Structure formats: structure tokens, C-alpha cells
Amino acid sequence: MKKKNKRTPWKIKNSNDIMKKKILMLIVIISMLCGISAAFAADLPIPSFRIGIDEATGPDDVAVALEVIAMLTILTLAPGILIMTTSFTRLIIVFHFLRQAIGTQQTPPNQVMVGLAMFMTFFIMRPVWTDVYQNALNPYMDKKISHVEAFEKAKVPLRKFMLLNTREADLALFVNASKLGKPQTQEDVPLLTLIPAFMISELKTAFIIGFLLYAPFLVIDMVVASVLLSMGMMMLPPIMISLPFKLMLFVLVDGWHLIVGSMIKSFGV
């Protein structure tokens, strides 16, 4: 027991020395890492970003800034402009009615329907946008006309397209509601009055076309339902039997060709 008591202080002292050496090594490693990180920080400084407003040196600086703001605003409002002032509304609603009338729930998918409506919109609106580019946007970018004159020239082909596809009753509704007086010519109709009139006219036209699309497919559904009921097959859903017949009818009459062609002609293209 005495021998053990004599060796105990030596073991404690030895363990303390080892712990001190470990702590010392850890401090040295941390110091080296800090030095390395400081060296990298010195070689690679962190960039700083500053946003401020400086005094313009000339009118061109102000014009460029206003053009950037205008472009950002147009990009933000581009989806709304595409829907409100083009043929996109009528096309996408008609395609949706067609899919519901046939009975295919998600075929074609929404991405395909929107893509088809968008590219058809580009095709139908191409003459209008070409006119806007040649007479308004291109001269403005060349600094031949001011932004006010460019806007006035850009409204002319767009106004012509919307007036061509707007019903007189819808236009009269918004003209009377605006209380601006009866316009003498079409050019006197404000653009903010013409756009909502064009929108509700497009909605009405799209719903009429949708009803005409529903009629033949509804007849097929009624005939199939009557046959199944007469045969006593009341538990069999009629949609399972009528869907192949509706698809066959749509393919035989070349439905996509007829509908797309009729939609293009309805806009006067």
C-alpha cells in the first residue's frame, strides 16, 4: 500500500504534463490557422457594394437612367400587357373549353396549352408588333423621336387591332361609365377605356366559341348515356364509353386544324 501511495503523485504529475502539452499544441495550431486565414484575407479583399445617387453630368445620363427604369417597368407588366391587349385571352379560354368538352382532364397539359396560345399570339400579333417596332421603337432608339411621340405612334396599330375585335356595346358601356363625352372618331377613344372593353369582348367571344365546341361532344355524351341506360348498365360511367368516340370524331374531322384555322381567321389575319 505504501508503494502505491508513493507512485500516485507521479502519475498525477505525468497526466498533468500531458494535458498541458496538448493545450499548448492546440494553441499553436489555432495561432497558425489564424495566421493563414489572415494571410488569405490580405490577398483576397472582400468587395463592397455601394448604391447612391450622383449628380448627372448631362441630359444623356438622365435619359439613360429613365430608359432603364422604363424597361424594368415594362418587363414587370409584360404578362399583364400580353393578356390584356392581345389575342391570348380568347385563345387560352377556347383551348380550355375544348379540353373540357372532349373530357380529357389533363391532356394536353397546361404547359402545352399555354405554349400553343402564346406562340399563336405571337403569330397573330406579328403585323401589329412589326408596325410598332418600325414606326415607334426603332426611331426612338435611334433618337429620332421623343418618348412621347414614340408612345403615341405605338398606340395606333394596337388601337386599330383592339377596335377591330371590340363590340360596340362593350365600348359604349365604358365610354358612358367614364363620363368623358361621346368621342367623335375612333382615335378619340382613350386607351384606358378601350382596353377593358376589348377584354370583355374577348371573354364573350371565347365563351360563344366554347359553347359551339361543347355542342357536338355533348350530343355524343347524351347518346352514349341513353344507350347505356336502355341496356341497364347504370353503374358504368358514360364518360368511359363516350371518350373514345369523341376522340375518334375529333381526329377524323382534323379538329386542331379546324379550330386553329378558325381562331386565326376570327382575328382577321
Q: What is the pLDDT of residues 227-244, one digit of tens each?
A: 877 877 777 777 777 788
Alpha carbon distance 199, 224 (integer Å) = 38
Distance CA 72, CA 76 (A): 6
Residue 117 CA to residue 94 CA, distance in Å, equals: 10
pLDDT digits (tens, 9 = 90+) for 139-186: 877 778 777 788 788 888 888 888 888 888 888 888 888 777 777 777
Distance CA 84, CA 195 (A): 7
Q: Which residues contact 164 (CB under 8 A, 6 or more apart)?
A: 268
Q: Does residue 204 carry a pLDDT above 80?
A: yes
Return the domain boundaries, the chain: 83-219
Least confident residue range of 57-61, 115-119, 210-214: 57-61
**One-letter amino acid identity for 267?**
F
Residue type, 127: P
Residues 6+ apart with CB under 8 A from 198: 84, 85, 162, 165, 166, 170
Confidence bin at 2 (pLDDT 50/70/90): very low
**Which residues have CB under 8 Å from 68's CB, separation 6+?**
none
The one-letter amino acid at 241: I
pLDDT at 29 over 70: no
Cell numbers for 153, please give them. Answer: 405612334
Look at residue 75 and tell me whether its pLDDT is greater than 80.
no
